[in-house]
A and B are shown apart, each in its own frame.
Chain A
């Protein structure tokens, strides 16, 4: 029994990673990953919303009529997004400002509705909780990798705008400004996808 909970968590992180395997929720992935701080903040916000909405949807799964389930899911998700939005605004205003309109847009992030539809609407509460954490962490991992590449090479720093900011290269380093631009987001994600394709192919063959 314990194993299946663990499997629910790890599935979302590796085998069904939202970013690299399912290619879902691309809008925030591409938009906020200029800095590691923003990517991580967005990822954790999604973990919070996804876990909470999975729990509620799963516990209400016997009461939500089949025909109107999508509007019900959306209202539940929107409620948690509003809560997260207010919390961010109150406690980390700089992150809230950096993420901008992408915080309320978590509502239409396909991962959350996708997990509600594919998993939480049918499975018991504890398993849905694990699934929410797993998928959320998988999404955070994707954002983290992408923002790591973009910040290190596009900005020459690590963890900029936090207390642990590090200047990675010497004063003569000229950062690849392209990577911090929208075009760079598409490019790096495309290359990372190709890389994960190679890695997964190798792993399955061996």
Chain B
């Protein structure tokens, strides 16, 4: 239990997946323009990461390891993730049209979000148990969501301010992210696994 709570805190605050570990930078820069889309994307990512970590962990320990084909890990994981995203999309469309309306357009983008594959790979590399892996997935994706929402809040304000011409667009976003990352450095060393 203690370890689970530690994992939760570490990957939300101390080792934030976006600001400290650089996973999922593309969506972080791409869909953080509006608070609303950031919320949608964040929710979709939490959903997909949690489910895909569960499935990839099971596949690794019950299929790949017994058969001795760990070298296929990468191909299997990425296919599972792509398949999961499709499955989640189809399932949501039938089961909860309102949720699908909200998340629909973000779901296909998640396949190439490197945070999803990173969580799956790191859970196996760090030899987490099934429960720890799921908590790790939830924590990492919540951290991603939080960073995305904070960023979109800043960017909505930034729209109204005057930015020097060469810095406009991605450059000023990166510099903002730098300051945000600097703020999150304050959590460093607070906890270790």
**Whole-angstrom distance between the Cβ of A192 and the nearest chain B Cβ:** 8
* Complex CA distance for A182 and B182, rounded to whole angstroms: 8
* Complex CA distance for A23 and B171, rounded to whole angstroms: 10
Contact with A along B59-97 (1 / 0, CB 8 A): 000000000000110110011001000000000000000
* Complex CA distance for A81 and B74, rounded to whole angstroms: 8
* Complex CA distance for A97 and B125, rounded to whole angstroms: 13
Do the beta carbons of A201 and B166 come within 8 Å of each other?
yes
Given A27-B26, A101-B125, A107-B117, A75 contacting B174 (CB threshold 8 A) = no
Across the interface, which residues of B come within 8 angstroms of A181, CB to CB?
181-182, 185
* Complex CA distance for A78 and B71, rounded to whole angstroms: 11
Name which residue of chain B comes closest to A108, CB basis: B114
Contact with B along A76-117 (1 / 0, CB 8 A): 001101100110000000000000010011011110010000
Task: State whether the Cβ of B6 lies closer than 8 Å to any Cβ in chain A.
Answer: no
* Complex CA distance for A194 and B168, rounded to whole angstroms: 8
Do the beta carbons of B114 and A105 come within 8 Å of each other?
yes
Name which residue of chain B comes closest to A201, CB basis: B166
* Complex CA distance for A143 and B162, rounded to whole angstroms: 30
Task: State whether the Cβ of A145 lies closer than 8 Å to any Cβ in chain B.
Answer: no
Considering only CB atoms and an 8 Å cut-off, how many residues of chain A contact the other chain? Answer: 43
Do the beta carbons of B178 and A187 come within 8 Å of each other?
yes
Do the beta carbons of B121 and A101 come within 8 Å of each other?
yes
Do the beta carbons of B182 and A197 come within 8 Å of each other?
no
Contact with B along A188-206 (1 / 0, CB 8 A): 0111011101100100000
Q: Give the residue among A31, A79, A82, A104 with the most B Cβ atoms within 10 A.
A: A104
**Whole-angstrom distance between the Cβ of B77 and the nearest chain A Cβ:** 8
Task: State whether the Cβ of A175 lies closer than 8 Å to any Cβ in chain B.
Answer: no
Taking CB atoms and an 8 Å cut-off, the chain A residues in 6-23 that contact chain B are 23
Task: State whether the Cβ of B20 lies closer than 8 Å to any Cβ in chain A.
Answer: yes
* Complex CA distance for A101 and B114, rounded to whole angstroms: 11
Q: Which of A30, A81, A108, A189 contacts B113 (CB 8 A)?
A: A108
Name which residue of chain B comes closest to A199, CB basis: B166
Name which residue of chain A comes closest to B183, CB basis: A183
**Whole-angstrom distance between the Cβ of A149 and the nearest chain B Cβ:** 14
Given A107-B117, A183-B179, A187-B178, A78 contacting B78 (CB threshold 8 A) = yes
Q: Which of B74, B122, B165, B170 contacts A85 (CB 8 A)?
A: B74
Taking CB atoms and an 8 Å cut-off, the chain A residues in 45-88 that contact chain B are 70-71, 74-75, 78-79, 81-82, 85-86
Do the beta carbons of B74 and A104 come within 8 Å of each other?
yes
17 contacts between A and B (CB under 8 A): A23-B29, A25-B26, A74-B78, A74-B82, A86-B71, A101-B118, A101-B121, A101-B125, A108-B78, A110-B26, A110-B112, A182-B19, A185-B178, A186-B174, A190-B172, A194-B167, A195-B166
Closest 9 CB pairs of A and B: A190-B174, A186-B178, A31-B22, A187-B178, A190-B175, A26-B25, A183-B181, A193-B171, A183-B182
Known A105-B118, A193-B171; further 6 A-B contacts with Cβ < 8 A: A27-B22, A30-B22, A78-B78, A79-B75, A81-B74, A190-B178
